[in-house]
Amino acid sequence: MSGPGGRIVGRVWAERGIRHGTIVLCAPFGRTMRHMFTPTYLLNENGFRVVTFDPTNHTGRSEGSVERYTVSGHADDIACVLDAFHAEAPVVVAVSIAARAAMRALSRRPAAGAVLLVPVVDVCRTLAAITGMDLKGMHDHDPDSVPQFIRVLGHDVSRGLLEDNLADGLAELEDCIADAREIACPVYCVASDEDEWVAFADLQRVVRAGRRFHLAVVSEACHDFHRSPIIAWKYFTAVLQALFRMTDTGGTPHIPSLHEVILARGAGVVA
């Protein structure tokens, strides 16, 4: 499909067994839809049809270069996917900074609901934690002091990321709170109270501001859960539980063993 940033490449993975709905799965920054094998497999196994895609100006197969990545562009791509699957009343599942982009999209597009995993709610604060630089403070003091390129999780991104965030109201916590107030669908935030990149008190403020927001806390966890299969499993279990509550799905989620997922990946079951 085509979006404001160019051609968006994605795939649709059919559910297994009884169908419980359609999920639009949004990978975190620096990860592609192929990196999302495990959540895609778990959702498939629990009866969800899964739509995965790579945003434009990002890593992956869609058009554009990651150096031009912006949160607003990511939000526009999510909105395009929601428009394409509007008839299926999808639920959005988004991770990290993609969750912030999803909140902007959901403030302007209808959906059946959303589950936001380790959502970023203050983009500038999270960028400072990741890069070790107070980019907004630098910009406020002297815009020319911000480096031309910012190293974000192994990728060089133009300082247009910061400038776009500031111009489009995506930079700070109050911006996120404003978007949360505009979201009509139910939203479950799944997060740790020990997140090294997102202040838990900030997330609590967003949840309180949202009309139908809920918070599920995963203890002894971190933001970058890809480093630990055990932590990832705790998060994915909480995501499935939130989806089952949101979609009024009977029973309890099926959580396969990690060994089963590894075998499925080797067999090319999903991706």
Terminal Cα-to-Cα distance of the chain (whole angstroms): 20
Position 266 scores a pLDDT of: 67
Of 49, 162, 168, 56, the C-alpha closest to 103 is 168
**Minimal CA–CA distance to 10: which of 64, 57, 50?**
50
How much is the mean pLDDT over the chain? 94
Q: Among 3.30.2020.10, 3.40.50.300, 3.40.50.620, 3.40.50.1820, what is the CATH number of 2-130+169-267?
A: 3.40.50.1820
Which residue ranges make up each domain of the chain?
A: 2-130+169-267
Q: Per residue in 105-162, pLDDT tens?
A: 999 999 999 999 999 999 999 999 999 999 999 999 999 999 999 999 999 999 999 9
User: Does pLDDT of 19 surpass 90?
Assistant: no
Tokens of 133: 């630089």
* Count of C-beta atoms within a 10 Å radius of residue 35: 18
**Residue 149 zone, left/alpha/beta (φ > 0; ψ -120 to 50; rest):** beta
* Tens-digit pLDDT profile for residues 208-245: 999 999 999 999 999 999 888 899 999 999 999 999 99
